[in-house]
A and B are shown apart, each in its own frame.
Chain A
Amino acid sequence: MLVSSHFQGFCRDLHSEAVDCLVNAAMPPAVKNVLRARLTADRKLDKGNPNPGNLGSDFGRLGLAFWDKVRAADRRSVRRQDLLEELNEWRNAIAHQDFPAKLAVLHLSRVRGFRSACTGLARTFDRVLRRCIAAMVGAPPW
């Protein structure tokens, strides 16, 4: 639960910062908040889990094929994406106390694997966003 929650917080903050960088660089003042609303209203990361679908949807609003870029940036992202999916299944099972048959026993080593995958994905997300925003606005955002 805690790993998923921390990862969600990181992804949400990264999305907020990316939107601020994009809007700040590109828009005339009258249009800025209209665009901010389109990019951050009803964001899945505000209420939902940081699963691959929600991440792809929210970061996709910024004009990039998010998971394609993440996988291209680091080939380990494929395995990490699978682990993230599994982490969210466990998170939901624990939160709702509803354990599907395929989730048998959760060992500490597996949880450490989830945490390691989130750390790796966080670094890759950061790098991908930095590169994409730099390409869009002409300067690295951070």
Chain B
Amino acid sequence: MPHARAATKKPSLPVGKEVRIRMGTGDVKATVVEDRGAIGVGGRHLVRVRVEIGEEQQEFELPADEVTATA
């Protein structure tokens, strides 16, 4: 604490970027709302995203390498 980190390349996912993420059996659209830094397993980068599922908005964190940037 703070835990040792391997250097990781910062992903090109700026706040506001539209992305797609895997949720269950399908993909959903999401927006990056925060870059959480290299605090994941083995120093991997985490981002916080906002998704709309039905009429509900949710924000949660996931590894940046599991996020696909859209155009």
A residues at B contact (CB < 8 Å): 13-14, 16-17, 19-21, 24, 29-34, 36-37, 39-42, 46, 122-123, 126, 141-142
| Pair B24/A34 contact, Cβ less than 8 Å | yes
A24 to B25, CA, bound (A): 18
B21-57 CB mask vs A (1 if < 8 Å, else 0) is 1111100000000001101110010101001000000
Minimum Cβ distance to chain B for residue A58 (Å): 13
Instruction: Verify if B1 is at the interface (C-beta below 8 Å from A).
Output: yes
Can you list 12 A-B pairs, Cβ within 8 angstroms, ordered by A? A13-B37, A16-B40, A17-B39, A20-B39, A20-B61, A20-B63, A21-B41, A33-B23, A36-B62, A37-B23, A40-B59, A40-B61
| Pair A40/B60 contact, Cβ less than 8 Å | yes
Q: What number of residue pairs across chains A and B have CB atoms under 8 A from each other?
A: 65
| Pair B46/A20 contact, Cβ less than 8 Å | yes
B3-24 CB mask vs A (1 if < 8 Å, else 0) is 1100000000000000001111
The size bracket of the interface on B is 20 to 34
Q: Chain A residues near B40 (CB, 8 Å)?
A: 16-17, 20, 24
| Pair A30/B24 contact, Cβ less than 8 Å | yes
Choice from B3, B46, B60 contacting A37 with Cβ under 8 Å: B60
Instruction: Verify if B70 is at the interface (C-beta below 8 Å from A).
Output: no
Q: Chain A residues near B1 (CB, 8 Å)?
A: 14, 122-123, 126
Chain B residue nearest to A20 in the complex (CB): B40
A30 to B27, CA, bound (A): 10
Q: Chain B residues near A41 (CB, 8 Å)?
A: 58-60
